[in-house]
Amino acid sequence: MRILITGGAGFLGSHLSDRFLGEGHEVIVLDNLITGSLDNIQHHFGNPLFQFIKHDVTNYIHVPGPLDAILHFASPASPKDFHTIPIQILKVNSLGTHNALGLAMTKGARFLLASTSEVYGDPLVHPQPESYWGNVNPIGVRGVYDEAKRFAEALTMAYHRIHGLDTRIVRIFNTYGPRMRLDDGRVIPNYVNQALHGQPLTVYGEGSQTRSFCYVEDEVEGFYRLLFSSENEPVNIGNTDETTMLELAEVVNRLTGNQAGIIFKPLPEDDPKVRKPDITRARTLLGWEAKVNLEQGLQRTIDWFRRNVAALG
Ligand code: NAD
Ligand code: UDP
């Protein structure tokens, strides 16, 4: 297959490139590098099956030649970005999704949207099944991401219903692993970076809020299976192992041998109190569930950060 990955120089997109190239497919990455990096894909330069195009997908997209699938992953994803580049987030998920869908129509390509567990907002149903409509504050600081992704889902379903486009929607729950930015701002890179510098870990609020963290290799397997399924309705892909931010800090300090402990910082606005996927649909439709547990995944991530923190001095 000839695959286009928007946002392919980012954390998830670059792992997707590895997977598809590894399976013998041709991959074109389209990225404006706003939060991504060429470091994530440099190992593919020189591979005749790989091509990189620097482009902002909020502008008209032109890709010569046929395309079999478009994986639309372009979008900043860290809550830190919600404060610094909110308009870019709204534009890439609305205008960018519109352009990517239009390209899929032109090429007759299958389209997969990277959506998010943030469509459930601060959930009142726990764990979250795909049938839950969510609890989102449209004008809060997280609204720029949550509402943009909800719009992207609505647009994708409209193209499916009106134009018969062959679409997929994956609702991605917190994913972590190598190639997250050292200064990404999300909790795992924050904690690991702090621990490797011998600093106390910054726990927001009382640290009682929960997340369910999926190792990137498992997550990408879920994307791969979904693309090759025939499922047009959204599917949650995430690990069901739920942990508090306080417990997570203790594990990171133990695995890194960090003696500096933790410090508490204010809880950000609208921070979801709980999050855990109901993966009944992923299990039954795709035969998928996560295999890597938190300690194994954190150990691999810590090893990668150790090498990269060292490389940056
Ligand atoms: P990331 O920031 O590492 O990757 C996003 C990529 O998109 C970057 O390379 C960035 O440069 C690129 N990009 C952003 N705006 C663009 C534009 N206008 N034109 C072209 N490229 C653009 O983030 P990530 O964690 O890899 O997230 C990738 C996708 O997965 C996003 O759509 C995100 O919403 C979704 N997602 C991720 C998670 C997670 O836990 N990592 C959870 C839910 C959803
Ligand atoms: N968090 C934290 N310390 C940090 C960064 C984040 O305690 O240094 C918390 C944050 O308040 C949230 C959880 O960790 O409750 C996950 O935050 P992240 O930014 O990774 O993503 P989110 O799931 O909120 O989108």
CATH for 35: 3.40.50.720
Q: Give me the pLDDT at residue 300, please.
A: 98
* Nearest atom in ligand 2 to 275's CA: 23
258: left (phi over 0), alpha (psi -120 to 50) or beta: beta
Is 61 within the bounds of a domain? yes
Residue 80 lies inside a defined structural domain of this protein:
yes
Distances (CA, A) of 110 to 31, 67, 94: 19, 9, 19
Tokens at 219, concatenated: 């997550």
- Any idea of the CA torsion for 196, 200, 202, 206, to the nearest 10 degrees? 140
Q: Answer whether residue 204 is part of any domain.
A: no
Quick check: is 304 in a domain? no
Q: Cβ(226)–Cβ(286) under 8 Å?
A: yes
In this structure, are residues 167 and 102 in contact, taking their beta carbons and an 8 Å threshold?
no
Pairing of strands 262-265, 201-204: parallel
Tell me the CA–centroid distance for residue 5 and ligand 1, in Å: 11
pLDDT at 309: 79
What pLDDT was estimated at residue 217? Answer: 98
Ligand 2 binding pocket mutation candidate from 11, 190, 202, 204 (most atoms within 8 A of CB): 204
CB 172 within 8 A of CB 128: no
Element (DSSP H or E) covering residue 190: helix 187-196
The pLDDT, as a whole number, for residue 310 is 73
Q: How many domains does one find in the chain?
A: 1
Assigned domain for 312 exists:
no
Relative to beta strand 242-244, strand 210-212 is antiparallel
- From first to last of its 313 residues, the chain has per-residue pLDDT tens of 999 999 999 999 999 999 999 999 999 999 999 999 999 999 999 999 999 999 999 999 999 999 999 999 999 999 999 999 999 999 999 999 999 999 999 999 999 999 999 999 999 999 999 999 999 999 999 999 999 999 999 999 999 999 999 999 999 999 999 999 989 999 999 999 999 999 999 999 999 999 999 999 999 999 999 999 999 999 999 999 999 999 999 999 999 999 999 999 999 999 999 999 999 999 999 999 999 999 999 999 999 999 987 765 5
pTM: predicted TM-score of the whole model, two decimal places: 0.98
Domain assignment present for residue 269? The answer is: no
In the block, residue with structure tokens 């599917």: 235
Question: Within 6 Å (CB) of ligand 2, which residues are found?
Answer: 79, 174, 186-187, 190, 202-204, 209, 211, 245, 268, 271
Residue 311: its pLDDT value, please?
66
pLDDT at 84: 96
Distance 249 CA to ligand 2 centre (A): 11
Pocket test for ligand 1, best of 34, 63, 81, 145 (most atoms within 8 A of CB): 34
Contact (Cβ atoms closer than 8 angstroms) between residue 296 and residue 215? yes
What is the structure's pLDDT at 312? 55
- Residue 191, domain member (yes or no): no
- What domain range includes position 20? 2-176+215-238+277-291
For residue 95, being part of any structural domain is answered with yes
From atom 3 of ligand 2, which residue's Cα is the shortest distance away? 203
Please tell me the predicted confidence (pLDDT) of residue 150: 98
